[in-house]
Structure 1
C-alpha cells in the first residue's frame, strides 16, 4: 500500500488534466474503471473534482483474485468511492490461462478478457467508461506489438475512444507520462495500492517497462512523444487502409456477404490482405497469424474449379464455393437426434432458430412436426404439382454451400409413410406453412444467427 495523507479536497488539479476529463465524447452516464493502482485512483479523484453533475457518475472495480493483496485493492476502491460519494460496482471474476499460450501470457490475456467481459455486461447505450492508460502504457503497447510483428493497426496502439459492448470507453490520460501523474497524486495526498505482479519481469510487459523502456527513456528523453507520433501516423495509415477496403468491398463483393473470386484475384497481394483483414474485423473475428497468409490466399484463388479450398482461422474459416469466397464463423453443433417442434416454443438448431406460430384463426390442430439433419435418401417437392427430386440434386441446383448441408435443419410433418419434408433450413418452406395465410393454419418461421 502506498500511503498519502487524507486526500486534499481542495487540491488544484492542473488545467491540462482537468481539460482532459472535461472534453469527453457525448454520454448520458459516466463510469470510471478503478483498480486501486496509482493511475486509476488519480483518474477517479480527478473525474470527481471536475464532474459537473449533469450525468450520473459511478465506478467499476473488477477483482481478478489473482494477487494476495486483491482484497486490499478492492477495499481501497470501496473506501475511495465512499469518500468521494461515488457508487461502486464490484465484480469478482475467476481467471484461467488460455491453453496454447505461455502461462504468463495466458493469464494476462485471460484477465484482460474477463475484465472487458464485465465492462460489456455493465455498460448500456449512452454510457462512457473512462480508463486510466497513460503515455507509458501506450509506449509499452506499441513496442510489445512491434515485437509480435503487428501491422499498422496494432502499431497505432490503444485508441483514445472505442466501443465496448453497448457503450464506449475513453482514455483521457494517454497524453500524460506516468511520472507526472505520480507527482500529481502525491501532491494531492492520494492513497493507492501497488500490484506486486507489476514488478515481476517474467511478464513480457513488465520486462519492457523495467528493463527496456526505462533505459530507452534515459537515453532518449523525448521517447514517449516520439512513440506517440509514430502511433498516430500508424493510426492514420490504418484509417486509409479501411477506406480502401470499404471501396474495394463494394467493387468485389456480390452485394451481400461474399467476395467474387475473379474480382478479388485482380487486386494486388497487399490489397487482398488488407481487404481480408477488414472483412474479418468487420465480423468481430480475431485476425489470423500472418504466417501462411500468402499461401492461403494463393490456394483460395488458384485451386482447381473442382476443389473447395479453405483457410481455417481462430473461430472461423475462409472458404471458396462457386467462384465466391465465404467467411464462415464456426457454428455451434446441431442436435445429434431428431427433435419435435412444438407451438409456442423456440427450437435452437445450430445457428438456426425455429418457431411454429398459429395464424389469427387456425382451423386445423397442431401437426406433429420433427426436425432432423440429413440422413440420406430424402426427397423434396418444391412445388405442389411438380415432381419430387433428391435433396442432393436440390442442394446442387440451389447452390447451398457444402459445409451447411450436413447441419441444415430439415423439417418434416406427419408420421411414417405419410411424412413429408416441408422446409429446408431458411432456404425453402412449403406454401402450406409460409406466407401471409398458410393453408395449414400454422406458420413456420426459420431464422439464422447474423454472421
Structure 2
C-alpha cells in the first residue's frame, strides 16, 4: 500500500543541511513543511521562477511568505525556460530548473550537497504510463529514481511511495494552503489527461495499482542498474569522449547502451530510439578518416572530432 508522508520521511536520510526544491504546489509545500519540522534549522529552499505564465509571480510570493513563516532561508532563481528548436517544452523547463537549483545551492550554500524533490507516487505512475505509450525501453519503464547524482549534488525523491491525495490530506490536517498551477487543469497535456481520466479509472478497477505498479518499476530499475553497470564497464574501455573505433568493436546492443550512458551521464540528455539508430548507422559508416558524423540530440549535436565523438551544445 502507498505509505503515509510521515512514514516516507522517516526513511529519508539526507546529508545536513540540505535544500528542498519549492514550487509552491501541494507536494513541495508538504515536503518543505515536513522537513522543516523534522530538521529545524537544517533546511534551505530554492524556488525557480520560470517566467512561462502570468501566475508565476504569485507562486514566488507564496514561497517567500511560507519560508518566512517557517524561518527557512530561500533562494529564488529566474530562468529562461523556453525550448530550443527540436527540444520539448517540458524537457527545456526541466533542464533549466535543475541548472537553476544547482546554481543556487552552489552559490548560496556551498557546504550543502543534497537536494530533495517532491515528485510522488502518482507522478511515478504517470511517468510509467507515458513511457508505455511511447514504447520506451527499460530506462523509461524504470521511472524516476529515488536517489541519484547530478551537477555535483545528490538528489532525493522521498515521496515516491506517497499518493498525491495523501499529501493534500496531510496539509489540510494542518490547515496549510498551497498554490495550484493553472496549467495542471489543461488536458491538452498528456500528463494532465492521465491524472484526470486514467488514474481515477485505475483506482476503481485496481485499487492497489499504485503499490504494484511502483513495485514493478523497482524491478525494472534493478534490471536497468545491471545493464548500466555493464555499460559503465564498456564506457571505461571506449573512453570519455568515446573512441569511434572502440565503439565500432562493440555489439550493437552494448554500443547503444554505452551511447545512452555517455549522453545521459556526461551531457544530461537522452536520445530517442530513432536518434540512437541513426547515430549507430552513422558510426558504422565512419570507415575513413575524413568521414563526417553529425546528429541533433536534445539541445545539442553529436559530432565526430577526429578519432572520438563529442557533444556540442547549440
Task: Give the CA deviation at 1:119.
Answer: 0.3
Question: Which protein has greater RCO, CA pairs closer than 8 Å, 6+ apart?
Answer: 2
Task: Say if 1:57 and 1:202 are closer, same or farther in 2 by CA, change over 3 A.
Answer: same
Q: Look up the match of 1:18.
A: 6
Task: Say if 1:117 and 1:267 are closer, same or farther in 2 by CA, change over 3 A.
Answer: closer
Task: Say if 1:260 and 1:109 are closer, same or farther in 2 by CA, change over 3 A.
Answer: closer
Residue 277, structure 1, aligned to residue 263, structure 2: no
Q: Look up the match of 1:316.
A: 301
Name the CA distance, whole Å, in 2 between partners of 1:230 and 1:25.
24
Q: Look up the match of 1:259.
A: 243
> Does the 8 A contact of 2:286 with 2:293 survive in 1?
no
Name the CA distance, whole Å, in 1 between partners of 2:96 and 2:276.
30
Residue 121, structure 1, aligned to residue 92, structure 2: no
Cα displacement string for residues 20-67 of structure 1 (whole angstroms, at most 9, x for unaligned residues): 3354445242212222211111112111211154xx322122222333
Q: Which aligned pairs between 1:44-59 and structure 2 lie closer than 5 A?
A: 44-53=32-41, 56-59=42-45
Name the CA distance, whole Å, in 1 between partners of 2:293 and 2:230.
25
Name the CA distance, whole Å, in 1 between partners of 2:240 and 2:57.
51
The TM-score, its normalising length taken from structure 2, stands at 0.84
> Does the 8 A contact of 1:119 with 1:165 survive in 2?
no
> Does the 8 A contact of 1:312 with 1:318 survive in 2?
yes
Task: Give the CA deviation at 1:281.
Answer: 2.8
Q: Look up the match of 1:402.
A: none
Q: Look up the match of 1:230.
A: 216
Name the CA distance, whole Å, in 1 between partners of 2:264 and 2:157.
22
Q: Look up the match of 2:178.
A: 192
Task: Give the CA deviation at 1:150.
Answer: 2.5
Task: Say if 1:168 and 1:142 are closer, same or farther in 2 by CA, change over 3 A.
Answer: same
Question: How many correspondences in the alignment?
Answer: 306
> Does the 8 A contact of 1:123 with 1:166 survive in 2?
no
Residue 42, structure 1, aligned to residue 30, structure 2: yes
Q: Look up the match of 2:272.
A: 289
Q: Look up the match of 1:329.
A: 311
The unaligned stretches of length 5 or more in structure 1 are: 1-14, 333-451
Name the CA distance, whole Å, in 2 between partners of 1:94 and 1:275.
31
Task: Give the CA deviation at 1:299.
Answer: 4.7
Task: Give the CA deviation at 1:309.
Answer: 5.0
Name the CA distance, whole Å, in 2 between partners of 1:295 and 1:78.
47
Specify which structure has the higher proportion of helix: 2
Task: Give the CA deviation at 1:16.
Answer: 5.1
Q: Which aligned pairs between 1:6-405 and structure 2 lie closer than 5 A?
A: 17-53=5-41, 56-100=42-86, 105-106=88-89, 108-124=90-106, 126-250=112-236, 252-253=237-238, 257-259=241-243, 261=245, 264-284=247-267, 286-291=269-274, 293-294=276-277, 296-301=279-284, 304-305=287-288, 308-314=291-297, 315-319=300-304, 326-330=308-312
Task: Say if 1:92 and 1:301 are closer, same or farther in 2 by CA, change over 3 A.
Answer: closer
* SS of residue paired to 2:274: coil
The TM-score, its normalising length taken from structure 1, stands at 0.61
The unaligned stretches of length 5 or more in structure 2 are: none
Task: Say if 1:275 and 1:72 are closer, same or farther in 2 by CA, change over 3 A.
Answer: closer
Name the CA distance, whole Å, in 2 between partners of 1:246 and 1:97.
30
Q: Look up the match of 1:399.
A: none
Specify which structure has the higher proportion of strand: 1
Name the CA distance, whole Å, in 1 between partners of 2:179 and 2:277.
48
Name the CA distance, whole Å, in 2 between partners of 1:114 and 1:320.
28
Cα displacement string for residues 162-209 of structure 1 (whole angstroms, at most 9, x for unaligned residues): 224332221111110112122221111111121211111112211121
Name the CA distance, whole Å, in 1 between partners of 2:264 and 2:146.
19
Name the CA distance, whole Å, in 2 between partners of 1:192 and 1:296.
45
